[in-house]
């Protein structure tokens, strides 16, 4: 777990990958911090689940098609390793210079799976597993060594997307969330429920809450011009977005709505009255 000591300082005890990820609840004795302990706990736990699943996969399984068109299971795992390396580079750079540019793999869209993943993802299972474990360990080590002052003021700049968010500043805590998203959503994209892999129904509740807050905050700009939508999941308060006077009502539960918002709900399963959203890119 991330420390509040200066970068590079040693700390006794287990390495980050082996430490407990429980976070003290708000209440008596709770001390607010610039370090996003709740997000780090979520992504550390997601990493453990991902590595546990990857350890069970053989060459044949890694060569299986994933749920992302044109990508095998091995390709997706290699992409997740690449993203971890990119995040570690960014955290280390921010610690040194206070600002950098986010690698363009933040959003979980199939088109953003980078080309190196396509080549490296065809390797033997042991190499892919080791690559993933090494990349995750490096990222967690970078987080663990990041000083609280860097967590408080460090930030990155988005490289720009189809929603015109070029050079939008994002905090290190934002980037931790985006890494959590990568692991949770691409874990589902592996398509390995028959091997004990994750599905939409198994998304952790803290991640669902964080994803809902992040994604809905950016929903209005993805709507058609003059359009509006009312999200009415039933398991949390309804919210309206957009400028139109006759909003389309999306009455699906939270997780099903997130599938739609994240571009993971198949076209035939999407009700015709739901608006067409601008893509992430």
Spatial neighbors of 236 by CB under 8 A, at least 6 apart, are 212, 254
Residue 68 sits in the same domain as residue 159: yes
Give a yes or no: residue 10 inside a domain: no
Residue 158 sits in the same domain as residue 66: yes
- How many domains does the structure of the chain reveal? 2
Q: Nearest-CA neighbor of 83 among 47, 40, 52, 56?
A: 47
CA 100 – CA 21 distance, rounded (Å): 28
Mean pLDDT of 70-78: 96
Q: What is the pLDDT of residues 232-245, one digit of tens each?
A: 999 999 999 999 89
The token pair that represents 143 in the structure block: 């987080």
Confidence grade of residue 24 (pLDDT, cut at 50, 70, 90): very low
Between 10 and 260, the higher pLDDT residue = 260
DSSP 165: -
Mean pLDDT of 22-30: 49
Q: Nearest-CA neighbor of 36 among 174, 206, 205?
A: 174
Residue 159 sits in the same domain as residue 97: yes
Give a yes or no: residue 281 inside a domain: no
Q: Which residue has the tokens 């600002």?
A: 99
Burial grade of 22 (CB within 10 A; 0-12, 13-18, 19 or more): exposed
Mean pLDDT of 12-16: 36
The pLDDT value given to residue 256: 97
DSSP 117-138: HHHHTTS-HHHHHHHHHHHHHH
% of the chain surpassing 90 pLDDT: 67
- Are 281 and 106 in contact, with CB atoms under 8 Å apart? no
Residue 67 has a CB neighbour count (10 Å cut-off) of 15
Burial grade of 200 (CB within 10 A; 0-12, 13-18, 19 or more): middle
Q: Domain range spanning residue 24?
A: 16-218
Q: What is the pLDDT of residues 244-275, one digit of tens each?
A: 899 999 999 999 999 999 999 998 899 999 99
CATH number, domain with residue 211 = 1.20.120.450
Give yes or no for residue 189 having a pLDDT over 90: yes
Residue 147 sits in the same domain as residue 232: no
Residue 212 sits in the same domain as residue 242: no
Q: What is the pLDDT of residues 132-183, one digit of tens each?
A: 999 999 999 999 999 999 999 888 877 654 445 556 788 999 999 999 999 9
The token pair that represents 4 in the structure block: 């509040």
């Amino acid at each position: 777990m991330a420390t509040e000591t200066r970068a590079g300082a040693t700390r006794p005890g287990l390495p980050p990958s082996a430490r407990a990820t429980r976070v003290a609840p708000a209440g008596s004795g709770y001390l607010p911090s610039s370090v996003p302990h709740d997000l780090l706990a979520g992504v550390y736990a997601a990493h453990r689940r991902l590595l546990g699943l990857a350890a069970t996969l053989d060459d044949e399984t890694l060569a299986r098609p994933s749920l992302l068109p044109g990508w095998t299971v091995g390709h997706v795992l290699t992409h997740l390793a690449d993203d971890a390396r990119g995040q570690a580079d960014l955290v280390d750079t921010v610690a040194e210079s206070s600002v950098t540019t986010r690698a363009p793999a933040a959003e979980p869209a199939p088109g953003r799976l980078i080309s190196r993943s396509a080549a490296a993802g065809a390797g033997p299972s042991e190499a892919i597993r080791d690559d993933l474990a090494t990349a995750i360990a490096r990222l967690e080590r970078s987080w663990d060594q990041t000083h609280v002052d860097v967590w408080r003021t460090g930030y990155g700049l988005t490289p720009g997307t189809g929603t015109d968010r070029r050079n939008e500043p994002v905090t290190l805590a934002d980037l931790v969330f985006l890494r959590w998203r990568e692991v949770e959503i691409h874990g589902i994209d592996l398509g390995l429920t028959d091997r004990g892999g994750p599905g939409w129904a198994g998304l952790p509740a803290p991640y669902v809450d964080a994803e809902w807050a992040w994604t809905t905050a950016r929903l209005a700009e993805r709507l058609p011009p003059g359009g509006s939508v009312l999200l009415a999941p039933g398991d949390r308060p309804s919210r309206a977005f957009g400028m139109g006077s006759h909003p389309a009502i999306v009455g699906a539960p939270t997780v099903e709505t997130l599938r739609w918002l994240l571009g993971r709900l198949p076209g035939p399963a999407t009700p015709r009255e739901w608006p067409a959203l601008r893509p992430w890119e």
